[in-house]
Amino acid sequence: MKGFKFAGISAGIKKNGKKDLGLIWCDTPAVAAALFTRNKVVAAPVILGREKIKKGLCQAILVNSGNANCYTGDQGIEDAVFCSQLTADSLGISRDLVLVSSTGVIGAPLPVEKFSASMPELKNQLDSSHFTDFADAILTTDTCRKIVEKTGTINGKQFTVTGVAKGSGMIRPDMATLLAFILTDADIDAAGLKTHLLAANKKSFSRISVDGDTSTNDSLFILANGTSNVLIEDDASNAVFAQILDQVCVELAKRVVKDGEGATKLIQIQVKGATTPEDAFKVCETIAHSNLVKTAIYGEDPNWGRIMAAAGRSGADVITEKMDLYFDDQALVLNGRWLGYDIEKNVAQIMKNNEIFITLNLNLGQASDFFWFCDFSENYVKINADYRS
């Protein structure tokens, strides 16, 4: 994408020697917006970012993996400021135009000396073709890069929205994804960009769960440099831009869940017929976070009672005798009654798929909602038991 350059190198922050320091650079200050974790325990870069983003401009984002710079007190803030100043000095821009982001182990001091030693190499690596290097540098327990690019057309001109994310564990909708960076060459003001980001997040990163944990570092950034000369200014152009941004965010969010720690299946739960939108969300969220549901899906066991029990404890209005449950198009429960072992065998076959669609109709109203989540396997426990070793 015109106007953006990237770098990703190994600075020795991770023990395994893999890439762990990345940089996004824009030729000119870009319009910017961001969303951050709702966790009350937050990392230093989040504290810093919440203030800086208020200006609505950004020219560089420095990202490290392997160290969260969280629960590091005043020193953590000083280290985050140091890294933003280091980046600004290297690039010859104001520190106010630099955002920093971190992911990794909580509680360890940030090894700023490694940032200082690596900054010349990082700057020299900046190139428009090094996007995958940046994508690699932000990963932790992820097993793959997560990159999505979409294009749209407004008044005969084309614009692009490109997104990259990392996230595999500590995923739930209190921002949700660990780190995500969206870049566009569309021309849009800061207020409009923030409005679109909030809406896109609600349909994507706030509708996913891996393990029900909220990270201390969750951050979602978007930068718009306007180089396409596609102006987002009226209802028609805003609608097109929103559609493309939604597609990028949804696909990234699904990839995060699909790459959930130890996951083998991607599941969408659709709840229909709730009395209120709040109730629809409660039921979806409770089912998506249920360890019993997730382990049953991993075992390909159509233990439908776990789904109904989760709905019943969600705090939403439900009536046992009214609920219908489907796996794909196969009904398993109708009007609160199980359809029997023969039907259950059909569902067991559906559960062998890598992607499963579950529908729960409460039959009480018109509200609906959805979540994407993954199953739980033994590997989730192994990954997290050994995370710091």
Tokens of 138: 């932000």
Helix boundaries (H) for 18-100:
44-52, 73-91
User: Quick check: helix, strand or coil at residue 58?
Assistant: strand
Please indicate whether residue 177 is annotated as part of the active site: yes
Q: Please state the φ and ψ torsions of residue 185, each to the nearest 5 degrees.
A: -95, 10
CA 221 to chain CA centroid, nearest Å: 11
Count other C-beta atoms under 10 Å from residue 144's C-beta. Answer: 12
Burial of 149 per CB tally in 10 Å (0-12, 13-18, 19+): middle
The distance between the two most distant Cα atoms of the chain, rounded to a whole number of Å, is: 70
Which of 216, 142, 151 lies closest to 183 in space, CA to CA? Answer: 151
Q: Distance between CA atoms of 41 and 99, rounded to whole angstroms?
A: 19
Helices (H), the chain: 44-52, 73-91, 112-125, 131-137, 190-203, 235-258, 277-289, 291-298, 304-312, 341-350, 378-385
Tell me if 216 sits within 8 A of 42, measured CB to CB: yes
Give the Cβ contact number of residue 203 at 10 Å. 16
Closest CA to 228 of 160, 155, 162: 160
Of 176, 202, 224, which Cα lies nearest the Cα of 59? 224
Query: CA triplet 302, 313, 383: central angle to 5 degrees?
Result: 60
- Catalytic, out of 177, 214, 216, 286: 177
Q: Is the dihedral of CA 100, 263, 358, 147 positive or negative?
A: positive
Which residues are annotated as catalytic? 177
